[in-house]
Amino acid sequence: MPANLISKKVMKKLAAEAAGVDNAKGDARVKEVTERLLYRIMQVIDECDVSMDEFWSAVGFIGKTANNGELGLMIPGVGIEHFLDLRLDEAEKRAGISGGTIRTIEGPLYVAGAPLSKGEARMDDGADPGEVMFISGQVRGEDGNPIAGAIVDIWHANSKGGYSFIDGEQAPYNLRRRIETDAKGCYVARTIVPNGYGCPPESATRQLMTLLGRHAERPAHVHYFISAPGYRQLTTQFNFTGDKYLHTDFAFGTRDELIVTLERVTDAQEIRSAGLNRPFARARFDIVLTKERANAPETIVQREHVIAA
């Protein structure tokens, strides 16, 4: 069929009617968004001459994505989770909020309720043969003052790129910890260097990436939620210099300010005093939080999170 068969007026009218715009009941916000969404879907169908077969195949594909529990994976893959960050960044800028560590996406693999300890934690259970890594850092306010008692909630993949709870191969909460900063605002995590994450081979997300001529990999990364009373909660991650996928993250999570260079420690004395018998890695990740204030855009995202039993 040809494209552009239908007038904008016809599409607008149908979208408005389908969204219940002509009635006084229901939820005004849902109507507002539904009307625009339907209008745009109709436009795309008409502009691209989407066939009925193509349309129902897309419906099936979205259904499959949802049935697989993959919507949280698909959304960063198509750039929308990063887009939400860009909007929040801009809203903060316009509200005069600046100077904090930059945010990046949460992703779909957070598990709430990780063990909490003070000042330091060992995150790995010793079962992973990966390279030992110490992450240390300080949480500060924009004024440079350390924030004692901040909660640094860290999660990351193992040396195969798998997350505990999700991959079903690791102990509950392996590589997931909450650390409360000490009196100097500092935290130290002993863990192992993660590998990047790749979308599962049979996933709808990887299938779409292939159709788009893209890969479905993330560079290695370490996720953070950082919170402290009186400060704006921050969701972020860091990546590693030199990672193959650093600048082509399928999930658009890499930000230049969040790239950390691992220091390789090979000195025998240092290895011994770290309680180890082989070389290890050190990463430094300091965090600056901005002060909470009235009428600022919310940074805490209400989103379904699993809790490991």
Report the alpha-carbon distance of residue 117 to residue 86 in Å, rounded: 33
Of 75-114, binders to Fe ion (CB under 5 A) are 107
| Least gap, CB of 297 to Fe ion (angstroms) | 24
Sign of the C-alpha dihedral computed for residues 156, 200, 308 and 127 taken in this order: negative
| Least gap, CB of 270 to ligand MBD (angstroms) | 31
Q: Where are the beta strands (DSSP E) in the chain?
A: 111-112, 116-118, 120-122, 132-141, 151-156, 176-180, 186-192, 221-227, 234-240, 259-260, 263-265, 280-284, 287-289, 306-307
Q: Is 177 exposed, middle or buried (0-12, 13-18, 19+ CB in 10 A)?
A: buried
Report the alpha-carbon distance of residue 237 to residue 253 in Å, rounded: 8
Instruction: Examine residue 107 and tell whether it contacts ligand MBD (CB under 6 A).
Output: yes
Stretch 216-255: interaction string toward Fe ion, x if CB under 5 A: ----------------------------------------
Q: Which among 13, 12, 16 has a CA at the least distance from the CA of 32?
A: 16
**Among Fe ion, ligand MBD, none, what binds residue 130 when CB lies within 5 to 8 Å by partner kind?**
none
| Least gap, CB of 106 to ligand MBD (angstroms) | 7
Question: Which of residues 134, 165, 173, 197 is near ligand MBD by CB under 6 A?
Answer: 197
**Among ligand MBD, Fe ion, none, what binds residue 76 when CB lies within 5 to 8 Å by partner kind?**
ligand MBD
| Least gap, CB of 221 to Fe ion (angstroms) | 6
Report the alpha-carbon distance of residue 127 to residue 200 in Å, rounded: 23
| Least gap, CB of 221 to ligand MBD (angstroms) | 6
Nearest residue to ligand MBD by CB is 107
Six-digit token pair at 167? 């991959």
Neighbouring-strand partners of residue 139: 287
Residue-by-residue DSSP string for 117-183: EESEEE-S-S---SPEEEEEEEEEETTS-B-TT-EEEEEE--TTS--TTTSSSS-TTTTEEEEE--T
3-state secondary structure of 291: strand
Instruction: Examine residue 255 and tell whether it contacts ligand MBD (CB under 6 A).
Output: no
DSSP 8-state code for residue 217: B
Question: Which of residues 31, 82, 206, 218 is near ligand MBD by CB under 6 A?
Answer: 218
Instruction: Examine residue 226 and tell whether it contacts ligand MBD (CB under 6 A).
Output: no
| Least gap, CB of 109 to Fe ion (angstroms) | 5
Instruction: Examine residue 109 and tell whether it contacts ligand MBD (CB under 6 A).
Output: yes
Question: Which of residues 73, 135, 179, 234 is near ligand MBD by CB under 6 A?
Answer: 73
Instruction: Examine residue 162 and tell whether it contacts ligand MBD (CB under 6 A).
Output: no
Q: Is 14 exposed, middle or buried (0-12, 13-18, 19+ CB in 10 A)?
A: middle
Instruction: Examine residue 137 and tell whether it contacts Fe ion (CB under 5 A).
Output: no
Q: Are 115 and 202 in contact (CB under 8 A)?
A: no
| Least gap, CB of 253 to Fe ion (angstroms) | 8
Which range of residues in 55-63, 90-98, 107-115, 269-277 is near ligand MBD by CB under 6 A?
Answer: 107-115
Residue whose tokens read 């904090």: 100
CB nearer to Fe ion: pick between 100 and 107: 107
Count of residues in the chain:
309
CB nearer to Fe ion: pick between 148 and 166: 166
What residues make contact with ligand MBD under the rule CB under 6 A?
A: 73, 76, 105, 107-109, 197, 218, 251, 253
What residues make contact with Fe ion under the rule CB under 5 A?
A: 107
